[in-house]
Amino acid sequence: MPKRFLFLFAFSFLLGSCGGGGDDGGSSEAASPPAQTLTVPLTTAMAALAANGITANFSISGSVENKPVSGSGTLNAAPADSATLNSAVVLKTTETVTGTVITNGNSEPFSGARFIFRNSATFAVVAIDQGADGYAAFADYTFPATVKAGDSGPLATATIFSDNTQAAKLGSLTQSFSVAPDSGTTLLVTFLNTEFDNNNARVGEEETTFRIDTSGNISFVSSKFTFFGANGQPVSTLIFQ
């Protein structure tokens, strides 16, 4: 059994029990308080992510069309700046990724950048601009204020266009979330983005996990990208962690 689950078990036991007290002449037993459910402030974490940015070094593993892939890189999301999008004031984050990927013994560098626009009040994503690689426009949504282990559900939807002119639709995207236990003060929150083409066929998934503590501090854990072929079966899987 992983150590973190043993620690969670011990932590839950301590929360669920307490000692009773009394004098020598008698005894009394105080009722044990109910075990507390660990929650983390998701909206606070998203605000911190926008305000502070995040930097993470990662390794790459997986396969592309049955060929093993490895490598490493760095993800950097800068602190958000105030910007205007469609006449509305938003928070704009510049996210860059650089690294090296190795396939069949051949090493090649890679790099990329995208802009993430967030609602300045709720910190929900409004749009993601990846230049020539596409533009995602999100419908309005809000994050749950707090979450606990076992929470899950749909979160957001978006329309994907070829670029920010939004003239040519390429497909759509749905986002859901789930929460898993991690430690006595942290939870693992996973966001699953599923992309569909204009025929509603699933073409890709991006599953990203963050560690969030009870104060709303957030750190990157891993991302898993899966790409699907015409038959609906996965043809490539890449893991960044």
pLDDT digits (tens, 9 = 90+) for 28-69: 455 544 557 999 999 999 999 899 998 889 999 999 888 999
In a domain, 226, yes or no: yes
Q: Structural domain tally of the chain?
A: 1
In a domain, 9, yes or no: no
Q: SS3 of 4, please? A: helix
In a domain, 100, yes or no: yes
If 0-12 CB within 10 Å is exposed, 13-18 middle and 19+ buried, where does residue 38 land?
A: buried
For 121, other C-beta atoms within 10 Å of its C-beta total 11
In a domain, 140, yes or no: yes
pTM of the model as a whole: 0.80
pLDDT range class, residue 3, cuts 50, 70, 90: very low
Lookup result for tokens 């957001």: 156
In a domain, 198, yes or no: yes
Phi, psi of 197 (to 5 degrees): -85, -175
Helix (H) or strand (E) holding 50: helix 42-52
What whole-number distance in Å separates Cα of residue 237 and Cα of residue 241? 13
In a domain, 18, yes or no: no
In a domain, 183, yes or no: yes
What whole-number distance in Å separates Cα of residue 233 and Cα of residue 229? 6
